[in-house]
Chains A and B, each alone.
Chain A
């Protein structure tokens, strides 16, 4: 069982928005503003799309946004595109001993 809880799957139609939740505890998500999100297409390397809760690396479109409230973080993808269909997983810093913990991943289906 992963330290962070994500829904196993979400879906949406092209052009719509979807939100993926990531629930942790005060020892990880709630305790630090170091939540990151990754997009993973099977067979490819995972791609960082959000870091520090709501920052986007260069080249990541602003359709991807992140937020956090308490022990829960969220990734919102607006204007869904076919290429957004992938697995998404969250990650949070959890202190110097544990370092980082991950969610179990959410499969996004673009209908």
Chain B
């Protein structure tokens, strides 16, 4: 059974840092590019970042470029999101997500339960 378990969320002050993790099981992580998606309170979902299979290519939504870093350790079946210089508007539930196909795009087939990040003073 495929499972994605997000963790690492919490309360942090503006300007602070937080590191999220996503533990993958039930499939070979190295076979898929992966993503982080977030949902702010009362708002719709927003794609945050992508990383390719080997971790050599990374893409970000403009609002987090230079502040967030996506990474992966395929040997540990884990995906990460390092979030620095956090802003109030980064407050959201963060989900790791796996696409339906190992390459190309059709949709996110598997999602984690999400981890809540609250940025507040």
Contact = CB atoms under 8 A, between A and B. Distances in A.
Chief secondary structure at chain B's binding surface: strand
- Counting chain A CB atoms within 10 Å of each CB, the highest count among B43, B107, B111, B113 belongs to B107
A48 B44 contact: no
- Place the interface of chain A in its size category: 20 to 34
Interface in A12-61: 34, 36, 38, 43-48, 50-52, 55, 57
Interface string B1-25: 0001000000000000000000000
Contacts, number: 62
Contact of B44 (A2, A50, A57): A2
B110 interface: yes
A48 B113 contact: no
- Place the interface of chain B in its size category: 20 to 34
B100 A51 contact: yes
Interface of B: 4, 37, 43-47, 50, 59, 61, 95, 100, 105-114
Interface of A: 2, 4, 34, 36, 38, 43-48, 50-52, 55, 57, 89, 91, 93, 99-105
